[in-house]
Structure 1
């Protein structure tokens, strides 16, 4: 009669299970991030157009700097909506017109780009004060990076924004000035470790074979 020692087999399975779990854990991809500092000054042009029968205007902003980091020499910000805050006299800029009670208007967006495929996508909000003595419009706000293209796919980050434009007697005239951006964005990366996993698996197999050989010889 042949007797099978179930306890012995159970003991032998323990290192096998432990090794397989270890291999599985080491094949998990490691999350990492590459951080890109972003400090730049763009020459800007701003067009503000009143929306008929409302106290809201639509603003379009474009900027350019041939020496901007990472080849992102241009940016555009479209479908911004502005209204004067009656409590402060400042302009408030948002990219969702429903915040001003207007329905059916497109949501605004920003884009940083250059001559290649690399891009950053973002949303923004800002306020601007009238400096009538120096005939300037002085603004500040936040740009939130929501994605990208090319090597910046999946980008996230925050830029602080300050902006100065010269005022014109004509409120709908093109405003020229500069936008100062500072902050950073990051790109997620996944780093696989296949060689480490294969090495651990090989060690497991050799070790388990040795255990089984000693038990059954």
Structure 2
């Protein structure tokens, strides 16, 4: 009986270590796939004043047929803009509460193409008037917070600048360009080592055989 118990313990020890190793290797199996992102979108901007406020809602759409990863389209929805009285610059946020307005939708950014691959994010920006060159020049960041398709779990940061001409019809869409540069990453699982699974299977079979033998010996 002591010999059989000792044999059982011998197998249980590597079994425990095998389970621990499987957990550790799983933690190490998470890798990151990094995607550089450098693109110029042709943009159209609509500014709509919110009645009884000094805040406007901005809607931005962009397109580039050669954008990386097939993300040819860009949308920035529910941006809120107001002139900073101290600088004369336009401030853009996607949470109207920053301007003291409550109950308005939170904005979002989206990159997409014709397939399932999409990126989601949030942005903030500042725009200044360049009267010498007759331009409105904006700078900001887009924080990537997720995605779909092969970009599930995406995170990252894009820096951008955007230029619109001031010589356009103020009642029409403002047309310009947005220059984005940065990168995003997605988690990627790598194949698990087979050694731990093999050792686990051997130990389970061995324990089963020993318990079965112990049962038959005990019935005699």
TM-score by length of structure 1 reads: 0.85
Q: Which residue of 1 aligns with 2:52?
A: 53
Q: Which moved more, 1:14-23 or 1:128-137?
A: 14-23
Distance 2:86 2:38 in 1: 33
* 1:102-121 paired onto structure 2 within 5 Å: 102-121=101-120
| Cα RMSD, aligned residues only | 2.4
Aligned with 1:134: secondary structure?
coil
Give the superposition deviation at 1:117.
Answer: 1.0
* 1:26-175 paired onto structure 2 within 5 Å: 26-28=21-23, 29=26, 30-168=29-167, 171-175=170-174
Q: Which residue of 1 aligns with 2:217?
A: none
Consecutive unaligned residues in structure 1, runs of 5 or more:
209-217
Q: 2:20 aligns with which of 19, 25, 37?
A: 25
Consecutive unaligned residues in structure 2, runs of 5 or more:
208-220
Q: Does the CA-based 8 Å contact 1:40-1:182 persist in structure 2?
A: yes
Aligned with 1:27: secondary structure?
helix
Aligned with 1:198: secondary structure?
helix
Q: Which residue of 2 aligns with 1:200?
A: 199
TM-score by length of structure 2 reads: 0.83
Aligned with 2:106: secondary structure?
coil
Q: Does the CA-based 8 Å contact 2:12-2:203 persist in structure 1?
A: no
